Structure 1
Amino acid sequence: MYKLRGHHIFCLLGYRGMGYSQEYVENMTRLHQTLRENPKIWIQLVKGPDQLCEKYPNSGEYHCQNENIHNRDAAILEKLGLKIGQIMQWKDIESLIRKSTVPTDIQIICESCSWRSYGICEEGVQDILEEKGLREIK
Structure 2
Amino acid sequence: MNRFRVHHIMCTNLYRGYGYSGPFCENMTRMVTWLKDNPDEPLMLVTHPDEICKKCPNLVEDKYCVDSTNHVHDKDSALLEPLHLRENTVYTYNELKQHAKKYLTREVFENSCNNCEWYKQGLCRYDDFDYS
Shorter chain as normaliser: what TM range?
A: 0.7 to 0.9
Structure-1 separation of matches of 2:72 and 2:25: 19
CA RMSD of aligned residues (A): 2.4
Question: Percent same amino acid among aligned pairs?
Answer: 31
Structure 1 stretches of 4+ moved >6 Å: 58-61
Structure-2 separation of matches of 1:59 and 1:77: 22
Which structure's residues are more often helix, by fraction? 1
Alignment of 1:48-87 (within 5 A): 48-57=48-57, 62-63=65-66, 66-87=69-90
Aligned residue pairs total 128
Flag the structure with more relative contact order, 1 or 2, with Cα contacts below 8 A and sequence separation at least 6. Answer: 1
Moved more, 67-76 or 114-123: 114-123
User: What amino acid maps onto 1:94 in structure 2?
Assistant: K
In structure 1, stretches of 5+ residues that fail to align are 132-138
In structure 2, stretches of 5+ residues that fail to align are none
After superposition, the C-alpha distances for 1:79-108 in whole angstroms (9 at most, x for unaligned) are: 211121100111111111111013453222
SS at match of 2:7: helix
Q: Check conservation: 2:44, 2:91, Cα contact below 8 A.
A: yes
Moved more, 19-28 or 7-16: 7-16
**Pairing 1:12–2:12 present:** yes
Alignment of 1:78-117 (within 5 A): 78-117=81-120
Normalising by structure 2, report the TM-score: 0.83
Task: Specify the alignment match of 1:38 in structure 2.
Answer: 38
